[in-house]
Structure 1
Amino acid sequence: MGKTEWTLGRSTRGQAHTLEAFVAATILLASIVFALQVTAVTPLTASTSSQHIENQQEAVATGVLAAAAENESLKPTLLFVNNSSGRFHGNTFDGAYVSGGPPTALGETLDDTFLDRGIAFNLYVHYPTSERTIRRETVVRMGGPSDNAISARWRVTLYDDDVLYAADGTRTTHTLTDSTTFYAADQSRGPLYSVVEVEVVVWRM
């Protein structure tokens, strides 16, 4: 009788050990599967986060251009040109600003919005030519944009009687019709001078 009880006890303990081993193996397998899932999800999560940041930057860049057009600080930057040389006032390299925005209201806004937060930007003006092609004038070039750079654009209408601005930000007497050095050419015989497109490209430094 005692022998039978001992055999049953040993059998019960064996089953318990087998169950423990099975549970341990299951936990180990679950841990491995979980680790693999985390490894697989990490790049996707980073990509999603990066895309979210890029979407935010694009919205902010578009907002800057829209606000500048609304408060009439966008066009003066396009006209911030020396009538003698046809170049932007105070540019530092090859006709473009390289350390930040131009010394205009738009330039200050771009610096405050992006540069002070470690985000670089380039600023361009796309304009039509008499050959019906599109050329690009570089206003700001802080470097080559990274792969995750975004851009925002805004159209601006220029008129024959729009005047160029002096280096101190005051209006001159030189109109677009009078200027022979302005980068964009007159595209109309009427009061319309040209329709150009301003582009700001931003990326994290």
Structure 2
Amino acid sequence: MRDDRGQAFTLEGFIGSMLILTAVLFALQSVIITPTTAGTVDRDVQAQHQSEANDILQQAKNNESLKYLVLNLNRSQGNEVYDGTLRSDIGYGASPPPTEFGQTLNATFNQRGKVYNIIVEYRDVETSVNSTNVTVRPKNMVYRGVPSDTAVVATETVTVYDDDPMPNSARTVAEAAEAGEFPVSDTAPNSPVFTVVEVYLIVW
């Protein structure tokens, strides 16, 4: 009887060990087959945002809506604001900028709970005669907060010409600048180019 009982205890212990070992192996297997880690997901999402931001800026440049918005800066009561905005620090703020560009941003990022800023870098000169001492002057077209560590940045260059028409005006860029309506310097006075502007789209 003692031998039978001892064998039974030994068998129970062996079966219990097997169950524990199986549970541990199952748990480890579950961790291993997890599709990906958080870091990899973040990189995949960042890559997607980067590609979308690049495409949106390129499309806006091609259809001229980006240049339209770049030229939409005017001086109102001594304050430089974009047409349709009241504050120079946030620009269009929570609202998407007008034109097809803003509609695309809204459909691509806003409706998916993503946030973006748009910064436009204009160039100033100390003297308009020979364009000496060119400095960069950033303006917030859209400001919605401080970007996170996972933010991506897309950039596009817009070349503005002297004879480009101003939005909502019969004047050209050169004429509007001379009249003080367009607060941007002519950084190439001896050429048909008025200035070159950098547009940054930051998404997170």
Which of 117, 121, 124 lines up with 2:116 in the alignment?
121
Distance 1:34 1:135, change over 3 A: same
1:87 Cα deviation from its structure 2 partner? 2.7
Q: CA deviation at 1:152?
A: 0.9
Alignment of 1:141-156 (within 5 A): 141-156=143-158
Corresponding pairs, count: 189
Structure 1 window deviating more from structure 2 (69-78 vs 180-189): it is 180-189
Structure 1, unaligned runs of 5 or more = 1-5, 167-171
Partner of 2:194: 193
Percent identity at matched positions? 31
Task: Quote the Cα distance in structure 1 between the aligned partners of 2:115 and 2:144.
Answer: 6
Which 10-residue stretch deviates more, 178-187 or 155-164? 178-187
With the length of structure 2 as denominator, give the TM-score of the two structures: 0.76
Between the aligned partners of 1:66 and 1:75, the Cα distance in structure 2 is 11
**Aligned pair partner of 1:164 in 140, 163, 166:** 166
State the partner residue of 1:30: 25
Change (3 A) 1:41 1:154: farther
Q: CA deviation at 1:198?
A: 0.9
- Equivalent AA in structure 1 for residue 148 of structure 2: S
Cα 1:116–1:102, aligned 2, differ >3 Å: closer, same or farther? same
The answer as to whether partners of 1:81 and 1:165 remain within 8 angstroms in 2 is no
Query: Could you list the runs of 5+ residues in structure 2 that have no partner in the other structure?
Result: 126-132
Amino acid at match of 1:92: L
**Superposed CA RMSD:** 3.0
Describe the shift of the 1:28–1:102 C-alpha distance in structure 2 as closer, same or farther (beyond 3 A): closer
Contact 1:127 1:134 in 2 (8 A): yes
Report what 2:81 is aligned to: 87
Pick the aligned partner of 1:58 from 40, 50, 57.
Answer: 50
Letter in 2 for 1:112: A
Distance in 2 between residues matched to 1:25 and 1:120, nearest whole Å? 48
TM-score normalised by the chain length of structure 1: 0.76
CA distance in 1, matches of 2:149, 2:33: 22
Q: Any idea what SS the aligned residue of 2:191 has?
A: coil
CA deviation vs aligned residue, 1:3-41 (integer Å, no higher than 9, x gap) = xxx78756654553443244234335536x729x83x99
Task: State the match for 2:130 in structure 1.
Answer: none
Instruction: Spell out, residue by residue over 1:179-203, the C-alpha distance to the aligned partner (whole angstroms, 9 max, x if none).
Output: 1343432111211111111111122
